[in-house]
């Protein structure tokens, strides 16, 4: 593994697979299979994807102190007025831009330091005290300190070593060695190593998380882009920073960090699975029957049925404020698709999932 004094040595991550890590990767694989083979894939995938991007932007910037709520982030993204500082708003808008550009960055082969600088510029433009720090490697030594006590908790490598360390990381990032790893492990390694190098004066955490997202996207892990990890970090900030600090700096063994990272991915992708296809318990049936596109209204009806076990025409009318005929049309469409069936007679008629 490269160290502070081994600028020319190729980076090689050091870690061991543990039972916890293997268990997490197994859970991730199973959840991902369900998501990929989901029978009920709504036409509103764009809406789901946008919701995931908004949550990611909110949580990732909130980790570093941005005060905007998820509702305010959503309003800002929609072009509505939000009462906040210019910097707070710009951080969120920049992060959304960076996430939107992940597919374009993924096409850059190999992904080199100039691409990383461009990514940081997207994330940091108009938000740093010194504009010359935006999209540029740090020109001075920085430290990571406890915001409450001022205590220095980590000192990154010397400034003059940053370019070579970044090149070593990115060379590994695009190497056959990295591609042989599980994509989640690759993303976790890239995340930590980037934070350890701390190549920028500010915005390192946000850039590290986009880099991890990029690693997963490049490996085809989240082609639908419904997945977000930043909410897990934000809700467990203490655990997130503790996991980063727990890595032994004398060995830089990443095992404990990767246990935490894979656990976060497992929880997050399980939430995606539950959100999108909790309407079915039979994975085999999903793959056999193929995908059924549903409209947003149809998906809402199905989700209501999952919660209650069944739904009536009256409940559909009340759910959307529509006429009896319109409610029947929606239910009949779902019956034609083979998603629901009618039970009972007269006033006892209900609709249940097949």
Q: What is the pLDDT of residues 188-199, one digit of tens each?
A: 999 999 999 999
Same domain, 111 and 234: yes
Q: Is the pLDDT of residue 229 over 90?
A: no
The four Cα atoms 303, 234, 115, 220 give a dihedral, to 10 degrees, of -30
- Do the domain assignments include residue 6? no
- Do the domain assignments include residue 99? yes
- Do the domain assignments include residue 290? no
What is the band of 7 on the pLDDT scale with cuts at 50, 70, 90?
very low
Q: Which position has the higher pLDDT, 292 or 268?
A: 268
Distance CA 213, CA 172 (A): 17
Q: Which range among 114-123, 249-258, 331-340 shows the weakest confidence by mean pLDDT?
A: 331-340
Q: Is the pLDDT of residue 42 over 90?
A: no
CATH code for position 246: 1.10.3290.10
What number is the average pLDDT over the span 110-124?
Answer: 98
Other Cβ atoms less than 10 A from the Cβ of 265: the count is 26
Q: Is the pLDDT of residue 9 over 70?
A: no
Domain count, the chain: 2
Q: Is the pLDDT of residue 344 over 60?
A: yes
Same domain, 117 and 144: yes
Q: Could you give the percent of the chain with pLDDT greater than 90?
A: 68
Q: What is the pLDDT of residue 205?
A: 93
- Do the domain assignments include residue 255? yes
Q: What is the pLDDT of residue 1?
A: 38
Question: What is the β-pairing status of strands 144-145 and 152-154?
Answer: antiparallel
Q: What is the pLDDT of residue 149?
A: 77
Q: What is the pLDDT of residue 289?
A: 58
Question: What is the β-pairing status of strands 292-294 and 40-42?
Answer: parallel
Distance CA 238, CA 252 (A): 21
User: In the predicted model, what is the mean pLDDT of the chain?
Assistant: 88
Q: Would you give the end-to-end CA distance of the chain in angstroms?
A: 55
Q: Could you give the percent of the chain with pLDDT greater than 70?
A: 89
What is the band of 123 on the pLDDT scale with cuts at 50, 70, 90?
very high
Task: Decide: residue 295, CB within 10 A, 0-12 exposed, 13-18 middle, 19+ buried.
Answer: middle
Task: Decide: residue 92, CB within 10 A, 0-12 exposed, 13-18 middle, 19+ buried.
Answer: buried
Q: Is the pLDDT of residue 2 over 50?
A: no
270: containing domain:
19-277
Same domain, 170 and 75: yes
């Amino acid at each position: 593994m490269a160290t502070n004094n081994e600028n020319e040595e190729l980076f090689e991550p050091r870690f061991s697979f543990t039972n916890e890590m293997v268990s997490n990767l197994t859970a991730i694989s199973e959840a991902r299979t369900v998501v990929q083979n989901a029978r009920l894939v709504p036409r509103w995938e764009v809406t789901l994807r946008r919701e995931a991007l908004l949550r990611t932007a909110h949580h990732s910037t909130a980790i570093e102190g941005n005060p905007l709520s998820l509702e305010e982030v959503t309003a800002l993204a929609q072009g509505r007025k939000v009462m906040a500082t210019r910097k707070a708003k710009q951080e969120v808008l920049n992060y959304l831009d960076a996430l939107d550009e992940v597919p374009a960055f993924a096409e850059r082969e190999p992904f080199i330091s100039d691409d990383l600088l461009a990514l940081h510029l997207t994330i940091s433009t108009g938000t740093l005290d010194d504009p010359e720090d935006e999209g540029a490697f740090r020109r001075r030594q920085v430290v990571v300190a406890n915001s409450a006590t001022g205590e220095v908790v980590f000192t990154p490598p010397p400034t003059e070593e940053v370019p070579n360390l970044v090149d070593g990381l990115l060379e590994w990032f695009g190497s056959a060695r990295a591609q042989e790893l599980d994509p989640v492990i690759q993303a976790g390694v890239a995340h930590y190593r980037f934070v350890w190098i701390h190549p920028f004066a500010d915005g390192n955490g946000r850039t590290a998380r986009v880099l991890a997202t990029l690693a997963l996207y490049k490996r085809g892990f989240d082609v639908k882009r419904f997945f977000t990890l930043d909410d897990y970090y934000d809700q467990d900030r203490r655990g997130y920073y503790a996991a980063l600090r727990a890595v032994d700096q004398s060995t830089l063994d990443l095992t404990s960090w990767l246990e935490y990272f894979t656990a976060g991915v497992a929880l997050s992708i399980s939430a995606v699975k539950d959100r999108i296809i909790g309407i079915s318990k039979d994975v085999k049936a999903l793959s056999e029957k193929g995908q059924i596109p549903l409209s947003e209204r149809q998906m809402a009806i199905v989700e209501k049925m999952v919660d209650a076990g069944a739904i009536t025409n009256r409940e559909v009318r009340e759910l959307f404020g529509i006429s009896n005929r319109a409610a029947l049309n929606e239910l009949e469409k779902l019956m034609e698709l083979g998603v629901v069936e009618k039970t009972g007679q007269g006033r006892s008629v209900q609709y249940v999932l097949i």
